[in-house]
Amino acid sequence: MPLELVTGNHAAGHSLAVAGEANRSARGVVCGIYPITPQTEIVEFVARFPFTKGRVVPVESEHSAMGVAIGGSVAGARAFTASSSNGLAYMAENVMVAGFYRLPIVMVAVNRTLGPPWNIWVDQGDTLMLRDFPWIQLYCESNQEVADTTLLAFRLAEDHRILLPALVAMDAFIVSHTQTETDLAPQELVDRYLPPLELPHRIRPDDPRTIGGLAWPAESLSMRVEFDEAMQRVPEVYEEAREAFLDLFGRDPGAAVQPFACDDADAVLVATGTIATTAREVVRRRRERGERVGLIKMKMFRPFPADELVRLLEGADRVGVLDRNYAAGIGGVFGHDLKAAMQGRRDDLLVQDYLTGVCGGDVTPEMIDSVLDDLLERASAGRPVWVGVEAPEEARK
Amino acid sequence: MSEAPAVGTSGIPCREECLLRPGNTNCGGCGMSVGLRFLGEALAEAGQRCSLVIPACCGIVTAGAFPTTSYGVPVVASTFASAPAVASGMASVRDLNGETDQVICWAGDGGTYDIGLATLSAAAERNENIIYVCYDNEIYGNTGGQRSSATPPGARTATTPSGKPEQKKDIVAVMAAHGVPYAATLSIAHPEDFRRKLRTALRLEGMRFLLMHSPCPTGWKSEPGESVELVRLAVASGLFPLYEVRDGERYRINVEPDGTDPLEYFKRQRRFDLGRIDIDEVRQACRRRIERLRALSERFPIGAEA
Ligand code: SF4
> Which residues of A are less than 8 Å from B58 in CB distance?
none
As a whole number of angstroms, the distance between CA B234 and CA B31 comes to 14
Average pLDDT, chain A: 96
Beta strand extents in chain B (DSSP E only)? 50-54, 75-77, 102-107, 131-136, 182-187, 208-213, 242-246, 250-255
pLDDT (tens digit per residue) in A258-313: 999 999 999 999 999 999 999 999 999 999 999 999 999 999 999 999 999 999 99
User: CA-CA distance, A130 to A99, in Å (whole number)?
Assistant: 11
Of all atoms in ligand 1, which is nearest to the CA of residue B145? 1
CA distance B25 to B31: 13
For A210, the closest chain B residue by CA position comes to B75
Mean pLDDT of each 10-residue bin along chain B, 306 residues long: 48 66 92 96 94 97 92 97 98 98 98 98 98 98 96 96 95 98 98 98 98 97 96 98 98 97 96 93 96 97 77
Q: What is the pLDDT of residue A393?
A: 67
* pTM (predicted TM-score): 0.96
Residues near ligand 1 (Cβ within 6 A): B 26-27, 30, 32, 58, 137, 141-142, 216-219
Report the chain B residue with the minimal C-alpha distance to residue A59.
B122
* Burial environment of residue B268 by CB neighbours within 10 A (0 to 12, 13 to 18, 19 or more): middle
Q: Do strands A385-386 and B50-54 pair parallel, antiparallel, or not at all (unpaired)?
A: unpaired
- Window B:17-76, CB contacts with A under 8 Å: 49-51, 53, 60-61, 63-67, 69, 71-76
Cβ <8 Å between B66 and A61: no
Over 90: is that where the pLDDT of A328 sits?
yes
Which ligand 1 atom minimizes the distance to the CA of B25? Answer: 5
> Alpha helices, DSSP H only, in B26-180?
31-46, 58-61, 83-96, 109, 117-125, 171-176
Contact assessment for residue B74 and residue B48, using Cβ atoms and an 8 Å cutoff? no
**The predicted structure's pLDDT at residue A113:** 98
Measured distance CA(A275)–CA(A255) in Å, rounded: 17
pLDDT of residue A18: 98
Please return the burial class of B225, using the count of CB atoms within 10 Å of its CB with bins 0-12, 13-18 and 19+: exposed
Size of interface A-B (CB pairs under 8 A): 170
ipTM attached to this prediction? 0.96
In the stretch 115-154 of chain B, residues with CB closer than 8 A to chain A read 118-119, 121-122, 126
pLDDT of residue A388: 87
Let me know the angle formed at the C-alpha of B175 by B80 and B130, rounded to the nearest 5 degrees. 65
Tell me which residue of A200, A121, A141, A142 sits closest to A6, measured CA to CA: A142
**Distance (Å, whole) CA A206 – CA A199:** 16
pLDDT for B23 equals: 85
The per-residue pLDDT for B2 is: 40
- Closest protein CA for atom 8 of ligand 1: B30
- Judging by DSSP bridges, how do beta strands A350-355 and A385-386 pair with one another? parallel
Could you report the per-residue pLDDT of A62-113, keeping only the tens digit for each? 999 999 999 999 999 999 999 999 999 999 999 999 999 999 999 999 999 9
A204: nearest CA partner in chain B: B74
CA-nearest residue, atom 2 of ligand 1 = B216
Helix (H, G, I), strand (E, B) or coil at A267: strand
Determine, for residues B93 and A214 on separate chains, whether the beta-carbon distance falls below 8 Å. no
CB-based contacts of A310, cutoff 8 Å, min separation 6: A341, A342, A345, A346
Ligand 1, atom nearest to B214 Cα = 3
- Contacts (Cβ under 8 Å, ≥6 apart) of A35: A43, A44
Give the rounded percent of residues in chain A with a pLDDT score beyond 70: 98
> Are the CB atoms for A378 and A319 separated by under 8 Å?
no
* The pLDDT of residue B13: 54
CB contact under 8 A, A63 and B64: no
